[in-house]
Amino acid sequence: MSAREQPGATEPDEASGWTAAVRRRAVRALPPDKLLPDTQPRYMASWIYVFGVLTLAAFLVALGSGAVLAIQGPAWWHTSGIGHFFNSLHLWSVELFMAFMVIHLWGKFFMAAWRGRRALTWITGAVAFLGSIGTAFTGYLAQQNLDSQWIAVESKDALNAVGIGAYFDPMNFGQMLMWHIVLLPAVVGILIAAHLLMVRRRGIVPPLPLPGTDTDEPEEQP
Amino acid sequence: MSRRPRAAEPDPYSFGSRPYDLVKEFTIALILVLGLSIVLAALFSSPDEHPATIATWAKTDSADFTATALAELDGSSGTAQYGPPYNNATQGQKLGPVAPANLIGVTKPIDTAHDFVLGPLTSSPQTPAAAAALTRYTHAGTDQQNTWTGNYSTALDNANGDPAKIAPGDYGPVPTLLTALLAQAQAGSLDGQLLTESGAFYQTDYTLPLLLLADGSYLAALAGQDHLAGTQWGMMNETGSYPGQAWLWLYTFWYQVSPYNHSTNGDALVWGTMAALSLIFVFVPFIPGLRSIPRYIPVYRLIWRQHYRELREHDGT
Amino acid sequence: MPTIAHAALAAPVDLNGPGHYLNWGVIQISVANLVVIAVMVVVFLAAVLLPFPKGRGRK
């Protein structure tokens, strides 16, 4: 095997094939010290910047507590004190997730964080927000108690009115549970991953220039 | 306004940098959020109100159950009159010129007389009187059935919903059928039968029992006590004193105002409004005016005040 | 199936009592939701206003 087929860090990567092509693109987009930098821009001097990672942490706690609920199935928490505790953990981590995410959103909006080719970062975040609402909706439907009964029979009207109810039935517990634990977390998870990778790729958006300064630019373009 | 060439955003590191430990920050955040979640869960727990069953409904409010069963039989119930995806009684709601549900059609066919009343009665052993009543009803013509159910419906209204106080009249086998169904409901068999009626052993689709519950007023009364009704901003609320879904505030807001609150297409209109607003939200970076709001409401001056101060000091102004 | 409330694991703050609701015109909101929203606004303002530890030397 020649040295050329085993590219090292300093040799040009000229190997052929799909794998090598993907590798080159990935490394070019996100070299290791861009993927995991150990420095940050000096202007990141505000507590508002911690709400992204707090949102991510809350998402992981929600996933973890949900995983524990899955171990003994959807009815466990009604008859077990420990199960009920994990249901509470799941509920409160989701409340924290939503709260941190919205505070993060408020911050990013007032920073006009979509500037400098960061529109896709905003878009993935916004769609993840909407996806999270859908995930929470299916979660409430999966509770198998009075609340879920009412939410099912009420929400069916909105879904039926626009035709979605023909295929997505909030009264179908099995369908709602699978959307909640498989489909929607996967979509939201992928969006979050893409969002994070884009933040690393573009870097943290620089401060808005103060009006009247030399660097004042025309209306910010994404 | 002259068009200057678009200036690229400066490189994030052009203002200097400092060491920062991302992995440590993430770890601290995770421990913090886990701790906070545990504290909240331990302090407040989570709500879990018993679900309503057809059995508890039939036992608590037999008059309402009987009236609902009659409505399913004569096709006047909410489900019977719903339209797509359950039947073609109406066209369903319209969003502008389009009736989306009608276009898609009936994907979950429900025949309320059969699915909620005659089916469960037929598949259960009955007393000779009830069995005879069933045969008599199913063999009668539609006009005859409508006469019986119409008479009984009027009589029930006049008796304030109490079947025991019905005046004598031409109701045919209808009272016997409804009494038999009530007994089945109170015994709990209707809850199970509505799930397995199709012959399925395994079932996770609660559409039939939930629709029957929703056609009556028992479930709605329970929900109203917990402020979950639509007119109570119920979408945002949780049972008891728990926080609910505050993020649904704008979705439920529209239901409280005109024209949404009195339109027959209210649900479709609200959904359409929220879909449009969601699109605007997602594409904010491309919407002039909206994307300039951060400049006009200068929260950014607070966020980056340390940076601006350092720039001023560096420039010696 | 009955919901078993384990006395030892019962929540110190019982939120299962009837909720309190506030009304302003067309607006109806539960005290719980109002508290959540108010806390979020306070946290946002605090995040934006609270001083951040000064950074170490310029690179």
Q: Are C25 and B247 in contact (CB under 8 A)?
A: no
The minimal CB distance from A136 to the residues B211, B245, B306 is found for: B245
Per-residue pLDDT at B162? 85
Q: What is the count of structural domains for chain B?
A: 3
**A112-204 CATH:** 1.20.810.10
Per-residue pLDDT at A6? 53
Cβ <8 Å between B302 and C48: yes
Same domain, B132 and B238: no
In a domain, B155, yes or no: yes
Beta strands A39-41 and B17-19: pairing type? Answer: antiparallel
Establish if A22 touches chain C: CB-CB under 8 angstroms. no
Q: Is the previous residue joined to B259 through a cis bond, with omega within 30 degrees of 0?
A: yes
- Bridge-partner residues for B18, per DSSP? A40
In a domain, B1, yes or no: no
Residue B288 has pLDDT above 60, yes or no: yes
Q: Dihedrals φ, ψ of A121, to 5°?
A: -65, -45
Q: What is the count of structural domains for chain C?
A: 1
Cβ <8 Å between A50 and C58: no
In a domain, B8, yes or no: no
Establish if B262 touches chain C: CB-CB under 8 angstroms. no
Residue of chain B whose Cα is closest to the Cα of C58: B16
Q: Tell me the angle at which helices B207-215 and B189-196 cross, rounded to the nearest 10 degrees.
A: 130
Q: Does the pTM of the predicted model rise above 0.90?
A: yes
Q: Report H helices in B75-127.
A: 100-104, 112, 119-122
Radius of gyration of chain C (CA): 21
Chains touching chain C at 3 or more Cβ pairs under 8 angstroms?
A, B
Q: Which residue has the tokens 């159910």?
A: B149
Q: What would the mean pLDDT of B185-192 be, rounded to a whole number?
A: 97
Average pLDDT, chain B: 94
Establish if A103 touches chain C: CB-CB under 8 angstroms. yes
In a domain, C13, yes or no: no
Same domain, B107 and B218: yes
In a domain, C55, yes or no: no
Same domain, B93 and B151: yes
Q: Which residue has the tokens 């489900």?
A: B79
d(CA A73, CA B237): 26
Q: Are A36 and B23 in contact (CB under 8 A)?
A: yes
Residue A1 has pLDDT above 90, yes or no: no
Smallest CA–CA separation between A208 and chain B, in Å? 7
Average pLDDT, chain A: 93
In a domain, B33, yes or no: yes
The minimal CB distance from A79 to the residues C1, C39, C54 is found for: C1
Q: Tell me the angle at which helices B174-187 and B142-158 cross, rounded to the nearest 10 degrees.
A: 70
Of all helices (H) and strands (E), which one includes residue B59? helix B54-60
- Residue type at position B135: T
Same domain, B98 and B210: yes
Question: What is the tens place of the pLDDT at every residue in B196-223?
Answer: 988 889 999 999 999 999 999 999 999 9
Cβ <8 Å between C15 and B45: yes
**ipTM for the whole complex:** 0.94
The minimal CB distance from C26 to the residues B243, B257, B306 is found for: B257
In a domain, B41, yes or no: yes
Smallest CA–CA separation between C39 and chain B, in Å? 12
Establish if B73 touches chain A: CB-CB under 8 angstroms. no
Q: Are B82 and B198 in contact (CB under 8 A)?
A: no
Q: What would the mean pLDDT of C18-40 be, rounded to a whole number?
A: 94
Per-residue pLDDT at A8? 52
3-class secondary-structure state, position B175: helix
The residues near A127 (Cβ < 8 Å, ≥ 6 apart) are A191, B282
Chain C contact set for A55 (CB, 8 A): none
Domain that holds residue B27: 15-45+283-315
Establish if C22 touches chain A: CB-CB under 8 angstroms. no
Establish if B297 touches chain C: CB-CB under 8 angstroms. no
Q: Are B192 and B75 in contact (CB under 8 A)?
A: no
Residue of chain B whose Cα is closest to the Cα of C8: B42
Same domain, B154 and B166: yes
In a domain, C30, yes or no: yes
Q: How confident is the model at residue B317 (pLDDT cuts 50, 70, 90)?
A: low
Cβ <8 Å between A40 and B52: no
CB proximity under 8 Å: B 189-218 to A: 204-207, 210-211, 213-214
Structural tokens at position C49? 């206003």
Question: What is the tens place of the pLDDT at every residue in A163-201?
Answer: 999 999 999 999 999 999 999 999 999 999 999 999 999
d(CA B210, CA A146): 11
Residue A133 has pLDDT above 90, yes or no: yes
Same domain, B60 and B39: no
Q: How many residues would you count in chain C?
A: 59
Q: How many beta-carbon pairs below 8 A join chains A and B? A: 294
d(CA A107, CA B303): 9
Cα B242 to Cα A94, B91, B206, distances in angstroms? 14, 39, 26
- Residue type at position A167: Y
- Residue type at position A70: A
Smallest CA–CA separation between C21 and chain B, in Å? 9
Smallest CA–CA separation between C8 and chain B, in Å? 11
Same domain, B213 and B170: yes
Question: What is the tens place of the pLDDT at every residue in B240-254?
Answer: 999 999 999 999 999
Residue C56 has pLDDT above 60, yes or no: no
Q: What would the mean pLDDT of B186-205 be, rounded to a whole number?
A: 93
Mean pLDDT check: name the lowest of B24-33, B175-184, B195-204: B195-204
Residue of chain C whose Cα is closest to the Cα of A76: C3
Chain C contact set for B225 (CB, 8 A): 18
Mean pLDDT check: name the lowest of B69-73, B159-163, C55-59: C55-59
Same domain, B36 and B163: no
Structural tokens at position A23? 């590798």
d(CA A106, CA A67): 30
In a domain, B146, yes or no: yes
Q: How confident is the model at residue C57 (pLDDT cuts 50, 70, 90)?
A: very low
In a domain, C27, yes or no: yes
Residue C1 has pLDDT above 60, yes or no: no
Range C12-17 contact pairs with CB under 8 angstroms and sequence separation of 24 or more: C12/B42, C12/B43, C13/B43, C13/B44, C15/B44, C15/B45, C15/B47, C15/B240, C15/B241, C15/B242, C16/B47, C16/B239, C16/B240, C16/B241, C17/B240, C17/B241
Domain that holds residue C37: 23-49
Which is more confidently placed, B262 or C2? B262
Smallest CA–CA separation between C54 and chain A, in Å? 8
Burial per residue of B286-298, b for 16 or more beta-carbon CB atoms within 10 angstroms, e otherwise = eeeeebeebeeee
In a domain, B78, yes or no: yes
Kindly state the DSSP code that residue B145 receives in the 8-state scheme: H
Of all helices (H) and strands (E), which one includes residue B138? helix B128-139
Cβ <8 Å between C8 and A48: no
- Residue type at position C7: A
Establish if C52 touches chain A: CB-CB under 8 angstroms. yes
Same domain, B67 and B179: yes
Q: How confident is the model at residue C54 (pLDDT cuts 50, 70, 90)?
A: confident
CB proximity under 8 Å: B 16-45 to C: 16-19, 42-45
Question: What percentage of chain A reaches a pLDDT higher than 90?
Answer: 88
Residue B111 has pLDDT above 70, yes or no: yes
Q: Which residue has the tokens 């878009």?
A: A123
* Cβ-based neighbour number of residue A33 at 10 Å: 9
Q: How confident is the model at residue B4 (pLDDT cuts 50, 70, 90)?
A: very low
In a domain, C14, yes or no: no
Q: What would the mean pLDDT of C12-37 be, rounded to a whole number?
A: 93
Residue of chain C whose Cα is closest to the Cα of A98: C40
Cβ <8 Å between C50 and A47: yes
Q: How confident is the model at residue A9 (pLDDT cuts 50, 70, 90)?
A: low
d(CA B213, CA C28): 27
Chain C contact set for A102 (CB, 8 A): 40
Chain C contact set for B50 (CB, 8 A): 3
Q: How many beta-carbon pairs below 8 A join chains A and C? A: 49
Establish if C46 touches chain A: CB-CB under 8 angstroms. yes
Establish if B256 touches chain C: CB-CB under 8 angstroms. yes
Same domain, B135 and B203: yes
Residue C10 has pLDDT above 90, yes or no: no
The residues near A203 (Cβ < 8 Å, ≥ 6 apart) are A41, B11, B12, B13
Q: Is A191 exposed, middle or buried (0-12, 13-18, 19+ CB in 10 A)?
A: buried
List the single best residue of C4, C9, C30, C35 to mutate versus B (max B Cβ within 10 A). Answer: C30
d(CA B222, CA A167): 28
Same domain, B61 and B207: yes
Q: Is C42 exposed, middle or buried (0-12, 13-18, 19+ CB in 10 A)?
A: exposed
Kindly state the DSSP code that residue B21 receives in the 8-state scheme: -
Provide the CA A170 distance to its chain's centre, in angstroms.
24
Same domain, B288 and B259: no
Q: Are B219 and B206 in contact (CB under 8 A)?
A: no
